[in-house]
């Protein structure tokens, strides 16, 4: 942060102030002014009425329990890295709950979002072979350019050079295999972490061909997800209790938004225009610099 002209220790202060503003905007308190703190503004209002409550806000956390506790105290979700090991994820989940309890919020890990490379094939061999060439290139790139992110992937007693594609699959650090194998991997991950709310598939990379990725998503939807309802909150979260400011997840949130009457009508609301689909905001994890594919 010093390279950006930011004094040491101010990052947390600015982050907290920014989240305060965002949460006020989403609560629709009406136009308000900011006259103190690091940010300034007058008549602040996003002009959107959320039909099912404000969209969830998630804080991206690499491994800091302090950040996870702060997120829990504010009622935020956690976004975690796809390379974070189960032990790190478990500590973050525990810190999230500590923060929730410290603020008197209903405590639970439904807001812990775990990210993993996930690919489902018709057989274990087919799935493993489909990703081998591309992911071996990814491993080489990450060891060279982001070695600090690979610490949890190093085999016991080994070094960065011992991280191989087969080791990552065999140890369950990337979820690759047939539908049955991937289900077992998810169940094992859930148990090792101590529970989490949402499993995010690390996507947006050309790990396999378009047809193979489409087939993987189909198998995930038909042969994996329906058979994981027994695994805590992976198959769907528990609705919030009365007075809980947290938003429901997954199937419990029919996202839609309507424009404030103070705003001009959109094209969809004018005569002769076809109605547009509802706005569907989604929290997304920041992507690291893309390795070669």
pLDDT in tens, the chain (293 residues): 566 677 767 888 888 888 888 888 888 777 899 988 888 899 998 887 776 667 788 999 988 899 999 999 999 999 999 999 999 999 999 999 999 999 999 999 999 999 999 999 999 999 999 999 999 999 999 999 999 999 999 999 999 999 999 999 999 999 999 999 999 999 999 999 999 999 999 988 889 999 999 999 999 999 999 999 888 644 333 333 333 443 333 333 333 333 333 333 333 433 344 433 433 334 444 444 556 55
pLDDT the model gives residue 52? 65
Phi and psi at residue 206, in whole multiples of 5°? -85, 65
In 3D space, the residue among 245, 247, 256, 251 whose CA is nearest the CA of residue 233 turns out to be 251
C-alpha dihedral, 60 to 65 to 69 to 74, nearest 10°: -10
This prediction has a pTM of: 0.74
Q: Which residues contact 89 (CB under 8 A, 6 or more apart)?
A: 80, 112, 114, 193, 196
| Rounded Cα gap, residues 12 and 195, in angstroms | 27
pLDDT the model gives residue 95? 97
Quick one: three-class SS letters along 276-292? CCCCCCCCCCCCCCCCC
Q: Map out the domains of the chain with their CATH numbers.
A: 56-231 (3.20.20.30)
């Amino acid at each position: 942060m010093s390279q950006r002209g930011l004094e040491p220790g101010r990052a947390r202060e600015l982050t907290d102030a920014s989240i305060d503003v965002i949460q006020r905007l989403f609560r629709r308190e009406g136009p308000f002014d900011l006259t103190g703190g690091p940010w300034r503004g007058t008549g602040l209002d996003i002009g959107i009425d959320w039909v099912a409550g404000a969209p969830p806000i998630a804080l991206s956390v690499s491994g800091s329990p302090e950040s996870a506790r702060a997120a829990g105290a504010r009622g935020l979700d956690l976004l975690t890295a796809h390379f974070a090991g189960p032990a790190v994820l478990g500590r973050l989940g525990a810190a999230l709950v500590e923060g929730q309890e410290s603020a008197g919020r209903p405590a639970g890990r439904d807001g812990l979002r775990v990210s993993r490379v996930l690919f489902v094939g018709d057989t274990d061999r087919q799935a493993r072979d489909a990703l081998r060439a591309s992911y071996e290139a990814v491993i080489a790139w990450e060891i060279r350019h982001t070695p600090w992110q690979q610490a949890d992937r190093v085999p016991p007693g080994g070094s960065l050079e011992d991280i191989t594609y087969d080791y990552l699959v065999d140890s369950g650090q990337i979820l690759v295999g047939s539908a049955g194998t991937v289900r077992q991997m998810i169940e094992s991950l859930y148990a090792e972490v101590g529970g989490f709310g949402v499993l995010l598939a690390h996507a947006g990379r050309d790990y396999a061909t378009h047809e193979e990725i489409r087939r993987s998503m189909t198998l995930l939807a038909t042969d994996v997800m329906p058979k994981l309802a027994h695994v805590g909150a992976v198959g769907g979260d528990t609705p919030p209790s009365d007075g809980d400011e947290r938003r429901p997840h997954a199937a419990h949130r029919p996202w839609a938004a309507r424009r404030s009457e103070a705003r001009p009508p959109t094209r969809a609301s004018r005569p002769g225009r076809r109605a547009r689909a509802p706005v569907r905001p989604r929290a997304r994890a920041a992507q690291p610099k893309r390795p070669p594919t």
